[in-house]
């Protein structure tokens, strides 16, 4: 068993609570990463059962040098830095104290009330979904890591729910043509979906508002779908590398193009999302009516309303003979590797917050630190979140 937290009080104590959101199976740190911290003299406390759903045992954490505590109250009381996957629930907010740091997916552009609450409590809130899309920050980009998992799982779901084979088969009963797969959005999730659908044998095409990704799409063996942009001047991504909301005219043209390609597809995986905004509607109800019976739509944007007009967030429904999968939080369905990737992202980000002496500090001269800290000193310090709150 590791030393008591109090015996090493000169260094920061990291706390890993058990996730309380229903169906959330991930954990913020895994034993291998915990071992790196404890070997460096940093204290780590883990709530009992925190990693159980992701197949990481209390015994593995204890062997890595962590102190296992019996409940969330003990953990929050012992740790200066709380490491979570999902934002704290109501009962967890009451356990947070002023000056305590919290790392989690906080979605500050849409969950502005939560951001304000954390600021009011004096919590140093760091959002894992606010990491800049820069080369230097790639190893910390948890959204990209989770997008990789979601894209992979989406392609498997599209094949699993489909009544057709994905690959072309030459059989004694005749030749079976390959499935036609459309991927909408060629970010990390979309590119992983392309790669996985191709490995499964599908004929894949993909669309993205950013023409710059055409080369990436084609390098994976997919055909790039282009929308006529004549007469439209539009910035497709912001300074942080995230997608911008489309103009009404661009959205209309996207819908028309997606309709033509969706109708002839056996499977569609949609991943288009805009941070802090409802997902753009790219697949309309009339388009679904024209799809072949048995076709499948996997809507990865379901959590923010869905790219398909008929998506029901959190459910799998059949409309006009088409199966529409609106499952949310797909990374949690593969918790072992999702947790592994998230823990590594956290480790790389924490390197900017924990100095060589093992103490927590804030360096706002660092562009990544500036980009991810949402609240500090009782105030909202994140520029985009502050602007969203003011506009609201």
What kind and span of H or E run contains 151?
Answer: helix 142-161
> Which three-class secondary structure state does DSSP give residue 140?
helix
CA neighbor of 64 nearest in space, from 78, 84, 87, 46: 46
Whether 89 is a known active-site residue: answer no
For residue 367 the two structure tokens come to 């562009």
Question: Do the beta carbons of residue 47 and residue 16 sit within 8 Å?
Answer: yes
For residue 104 the two structure tokens come to 């989690």
Whether 133 is a known active-site residue: answer yes
> Which three-class secondary structure state does DSSP give residue 127?
strand
- Give Cα 238 to chain centroid, integer Å: 18
Q: 3-state SS of 259-292? A: HHHHHCCCEEEECCCCCCCCCCCCECHHHHHCCC
> Which three-class secondary structure state does DSSP give residue 298?
strand
Catalytic pick from 242, 253, 295, 347?
242
For residue 308 the two structure tokens come to 């398909």
Burial of 197 (C-beta count, 10 Å sphere; 0-12/13-18/19+): buried
Name the residue with tokens 């997916």: 105
Catalytic pick from 53, 100, 111, 144?
144
For 298, 302, 333, the CA distances from 316, given in Å and listed in that order, are 9, 11, 15
Q: End-to-end distance of the chain based on CA atoms, in angstroms?
A: 50
Whether 138 is a known active-site residue: answer yes
- Give Cα 94 to chain centroid, integer Å: 26
Whether 210 is a known active-site residue: answer no
| C-alpha torsion sign, points 263, 290, 254, 284 | negative
Whether 145 is a known active-site residue: answer no
Hey, which residues are catalytic here? 133, 138, 141, 144, 242
């Amino acid at each position: 068993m590791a030393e008591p937290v109090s015996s090493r009080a000169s260094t920061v104590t990291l706390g890993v609570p058990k996730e309380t959101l229903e169906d959330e199976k991930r954990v913020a740190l895994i034993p291998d990463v915990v071992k790196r911290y404890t070997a460096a003299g940093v204290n780590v406390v883990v709530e009992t059962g925190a990693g159980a759903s992701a197949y990481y045992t209390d015994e593995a954490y204890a062997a890595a040098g962590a102190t296992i505590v019996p409940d969330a109250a003990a953990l929050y009381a012992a740790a200066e830095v709380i490491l979570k996957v999902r934002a704290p629930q109501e009962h967890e907010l009451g356990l947070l104290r002023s000056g305590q740091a919290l790392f989690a997916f906080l979605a500050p552009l849409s969950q502005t009330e939560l951001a304000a609450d954390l600021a009011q409590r004096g919590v140093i809130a760091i959002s894992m979904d606010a990491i800049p899309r820069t080369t230097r920050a790639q190893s910390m980009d948890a959204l990209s890591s989770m997008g990789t998992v979601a894209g992979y799982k989406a392609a498997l779901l599209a094949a699993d729910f489909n009544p057709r084979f994905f690959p072309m088969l030459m059989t004694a009963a005749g030749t079976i043509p390959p499935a036609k797969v459309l991927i909408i959005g060629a970010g990390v999730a979309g590119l992983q979906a392309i790669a996985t659908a191709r490995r499964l044998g599908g004929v894949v095409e993909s669309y993205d508002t950013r023409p710059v990704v055409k080369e990436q799409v084609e390098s994976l063996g997919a055909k790039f779908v282009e929308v006529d942009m004549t007469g439209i001047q539009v910035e497709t991504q912001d300074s942080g590398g995230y997608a911008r909301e489309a103009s009404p005219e661009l959205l209309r043209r996207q819908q028309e193009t997606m309709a033509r390609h969706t109708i002839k597809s056996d499977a569609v995986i949609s991943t288009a999302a805009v941070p802090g905004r409802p997902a753009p509607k790219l697949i309309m109800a009339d388009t679904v009516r024209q799809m072949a019976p048995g076709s499948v739509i996997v809507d990865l944007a379901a959590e923010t309303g869905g790219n398909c007009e008929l998506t029901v967030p959190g459910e799998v429904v059949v409309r006009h003979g088409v199966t529409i999968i609106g499952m949310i939080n797909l990374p949690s369905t593969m918790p072992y590797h999702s947790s592994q990737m998230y823990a590594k992202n956290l480790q790389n980000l924490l390197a900017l917050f924990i100095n060589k002496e093992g103490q927590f500090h804030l360096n706002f001269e660092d562009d990544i630190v500036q980009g991810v800290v949402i609240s500090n000193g009782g105030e909202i310090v994140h520029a985009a979140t502050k602007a969203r709150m003011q506009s609201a």
